[in-house]
Amino acid sequence: MHLRFLRRTWPILAILLGNVLFFVWWSGIFTPMPALLATLPGSWTDAEREFKARIDERFPIGSSEDKLIESLSGEGFRPDWPHRNDAASASFNRPGLLCNREARVLWRADQQGVLISVDGRYLVTCERL
């Protein structure tokens, strides 16, 4: 009896397990959180304020654009190519079960690759049930 039940249900269980594994992979749960985002406060406004402070400390005006790009790339930020006169930027997205988090670093550099402005945005969007 038990063997017959297992023979009939294993394909369903395999599909369910596959779906669960796909969701875990898609959600990025096991992707390490960048140091810029690790241990941010729980409230959105405090988190954005802290994120901007970390950016200001780590990438001060006058520092190298190449080092900023190398550092962000090493932490998993992806470049967002600038459009015309827009600032260059890189973003990190972390999808979740109900809320998605996006962090974006925006900067401008002069002809020599020296940072002339750096800013950050931290956004949490949650689905309404």
pLDDT at 29: 58
Q: Is there a single domain that holds both residue 14 and residue 62? A: no
Q: Is there a single domain that holds both residue 51 and residue 14? A: no
Q: Is there a single domain that holds both residue 56 and residue 117? A: yes
pLDDT tens-place string over residues 51-107: 999 999 999 999 999 999 999 999 999 998 777 677 899 999 988 778 888 999 999
How many CB atoms are located within 10 Å of the residue 78 CB?
A: 11
Q: Rounded CA gap, 82 and 88, in Å?
A: 5
Rounded to two decimals, the pTM is 0.73
pLDDT at 113: 92
26 or 5: which leads in pLDDT: 5
Domain count along the chain? 2
Q: Is there a single domain that holds both residue 51 and residue 18? A: no
Q: Rounded CA gap, 65 and 55, in Å?
A: 13
Residue range(s) defining the domain that contains residue 89: 33-126
pLDDT tens-place string over residues 10-48: 677 667 766 666 665 555 556 678 889 888 888 888 999
State the average pLDDT over residues 102-124. 93
Q: Is there a single domain that holds both residue 74 and residue 122? A: yes
Q: Is there a single domain that holds both residue 62 and residue 5? A: no
